Structure 1
Amino acid sequence: MITAYDITLAQAADAPAIAELSRDAVEYGLPWRWTQARVMRCIRDASTNVVVARHGGSLLGFALMKYGDDEAHILLFAVRATHRRAGLGAALLSWLEATAEVAGILRIRLEARAGNAAARSFYRRHGFVESGSSPGYYEGAEDAVRLLKELGPRP
């Protein structure tokens, strides 16, 4: 996919901006759990990809995805509000899926806030299906919807 965004693996210097965007775009109304230190642990973890999207040097979005043997889990995914619905989220998701397929991953799973209709719609448009729910998943304050995308059999 050719995109106007520069999508690369995150560097240590990206951790503060990722943590702040998580706090503001994902964790609003909840205790801040994805701090700079936690993001840094993910950046250093060999089984986790932390990816950032930039345009003109500014960090506009990110994704964290942890790999298992045949399944990957998107832990965190966010795009700045000013850049939503412009293809950035789709570009990030495409990068994650292509990387997962190369790694032999068969499926990608994630959780989204049950009340976040925009996120649920975004993932459905990109081939994810709702596979269940987790009551009180978000600090007991909100339920989660589990989503799953099958990538296909290994070659």
Structure 2
Amino acid sequence: MMSDSNPTKFDPLKSFNTLRDNLSRTIQQGIRQVLPNTYPALDIYQIDDNLIIQTEALIGLAPNTLEVSIEENTLMIKGETIPSADIPETAYLLRERVFGAFGRSISLPKPVIAINAKSTLKNGILTITIPLLKDQSHIVNITPIQE
């Protein structure tokens, strides 16, 4: 016979919400592994003779982990984000932000002079300015040779 002295109430909505939050967190953490080339989001535009690349805000960027390089007209951005506080996993009621190492590479839409690239980091937004390679075409004159 069952005792009713300490009944445990089953709350299906709470169980569902916990399951949904855990699944969402697992998916978010796996997104960087499945789609590693989508973070951080970028804007690329041209002003005068410069290509400008801006990232979304890099919240929680670990000091001295940000690395920017350009190789064969491919821009690479690497870094690591860390949580702002040491909060136990069990304390979270909702956790949507994802932390850890990230890397992004993208082919630049125009040829650039990589050695003259400059970057700034302000309010978590990385701005990279790269001079465009000017048109290097040249008309070659033909000198007739008398035989």
Bigger Rg over Cα: 2
Q: Normalising by the residue count of structure 1, what TM-score does the alignment of the two structures yield?
A: 0.25
